[in-house]
Amino acid sequence: MKAMTLVAMLLFTSLAMSAQSNTHLVINEDGLFATADASIDGTNLVAQVARGTDAGGQATTFLVYATFVSTPDGFIETFGSGTIPNDSLQGNDPAHVVLDVDTSQLTTVLATTCTFNFVNFTESCVPAPAGLIHLEWRQTKFFTLHNNSDTQEVLAQARINFHELADTASAATNGSFIGLDVNNGGGTVGVNHGTEVEIFRSN
């Protein structure tokens, strides 16, 4: 995932990590995936949904997302991750992928909204809103990529390690995401070939 406002989030990483107990999740992604990257009226959204397997080798679909909003004194971040029903992700061909899920009906997605204040270096966190997600990706092939890489994303509420082996292409993203209208967003679609994602959550 491409994390926006990374510099601001890095300022609070040590505070967030030390204030909460970490939750560790390892995701084995194999098969169809899609990522979304959009800016909606001052809210930046990044999200990834992917097919894979759980620790027991059972077919599972994973959702990871974050939103960021700048405020006069800092920023607000929402971070969510967990498993969703396998039939939520539709598309046997990356040319057209659809995600339909209602996170308010799930107990398997953990999402937290935290407000970080630059002035007094405080944070306050509450359970994040849940709701309907409907996103559609259509492959644009503005770029295509065979990727074999190790990267790390640092958010205020989580550190995410990626060991990625995948075939990827650019995509246009449209739809809605828990109350946000996503129009002409960016993103990617593709197929993972044994990608591993490791998430260390602080909330």
Least confident of 20-24, 85-89, 128-132: 20-24
Residue-wise pLDDT tens digits, 111-152: 999 999 989 888 899 999 999 999 999 999 888 988 888 888
In a domain, 1, yes or no: no
Rounded average pLDDT over 160-178: 91
Query: What are the CA-CA distances from residue 57 to residues 25, 27, 82, 93, 114 (Å)?
Result: 15, 11, 16, 23, 33
pLDDT class of 14 with cuts at 50, 70, 90: very low
In a domain, 54, yes or no: yes
Which pLDDT score, from 0 to 100, does residue 139 have? 94
Which pLDDT score, from 0 to 100, does residue 46 have? 95
Which pLDDT score, from 0 to 100, does residue 148 have? 87
142 vs 89, higher pLDDT: 89
pLDDT at 95 over 60: yes
Which pLDDT score, from 0 to 100, does residue 101 have? 98
Which pTM was predicted? 0.83
Number of domains observed in the structure of the chain: 1
Which pLDDT score, from 0 to 100, does residue 160 have? 82
Q: What is the length of the chain?
A: 203
In a domain, 43, yes or no: yes
In a domain, 156, yes or no: yes
| DSSP of 103-164 | GGG-SSEEEEEEEEETTTTEEEEEEPP--EEEEEEEEEEEEEEEEEEEEEEE-SSEEEEEEE
Which pLDDT score, from 0 to 100, does residue 26 have? 81
In a domain, 95, yes or no: yes
Rounded average pLDDT over 54-75: 91
In a domain, 179, yes or no: yes
pLDDT at 161 over 60: yes
In a domain, 103, yes or no: yes
User: Containing domain of residue 143, as a range?
Assistant: 6-201
In a domain, 146, yes or no: yes
pLDDT at 22 over 60: no
